Amino acid sequence: MIFFPAIDIKEGKCIRLKKGLLKDIKFYNKNPIEQAKEFEKIGCSWIHVVDIDGAFLGSPINHKIIFEIKKHTRCKIQVGGGIRDFETIQKFLNNSVDRVILGTIAEKDPNFVKKACNLFPNRIVVGIDTKNEKIAIEGWSKTSEKTIYDSAKMYEDIGVTRAVFTDINKDGLLQGLNFFQIKKLLKSTKMKIIASGGVSSLDDLKKLKDLNFKNLEGVISGKAIYEKKFLVKEALEVLC
């Protein structure tokens, strides 16, 4: 399994939120590029990057910093946050970003996702973000009537091969992953799933690995590593 350390960027700095709410913001590092280099030095092969400003405003704001992260590390990166048109996807991929994550636009316009998957094979990821099993969009500020399982089936049918699953009610709270929903989602789809939201300890990572699903590709962790609940090196050792 792949361990994806998270870098959430707001106003050019590394931050973490609770349940995706801007009122619960905490700044951790003024320099996301240095943070990425540190993750690379420890041994990470991938980094999960989110443009928080972009997610709320609907178009990337911190893209120049993200491009610099890619220039200054050998890590592969997947990027989400406000990516909602082909021009933006192309801009990220042209700047060597390895994968882009589509959230709001994926839920609103499945045909867009289908075209994107055809144009950019293996480089499109959808974000399956949930509040009480309903899909959340627009920086997690709104929910649709679809369940995450309905959306997963739809995405698989139109050619999506990979999704990031996040339980928003767990995100940033250090209370553990929603293993019930993760298992249910893994059973419902053949897509590769990256789990996120609530990682709190090495035991969470061990339990996740012990699920032993072939389509469980990895896990994202942010607050737990910034709050030093465990070391990134330890996480890599557990999951390898």
Residues designated catalytic: 8, 129
| 8 Å CB contact between 97 and 122 | no
HEC-encoded secondary structure of 184-205: HHHHHCCCEEEEECCCCCHHHH
Distance CA 14, CA 8 (A): 5
Give residue for tokens 């540190």: 38
Nearest to 240 by CA among 38, 74, 46: 46
Distance CA 6, CA 62 (A): 15
Strand, helix or coil for residue 15: strand
Q: Name 147's Cβ contacts closer than 8 Å, sequence gap at least 6.
A: 133, 134, 135
Nearest to 240 by CA among 218, 220, 224, 221: 218
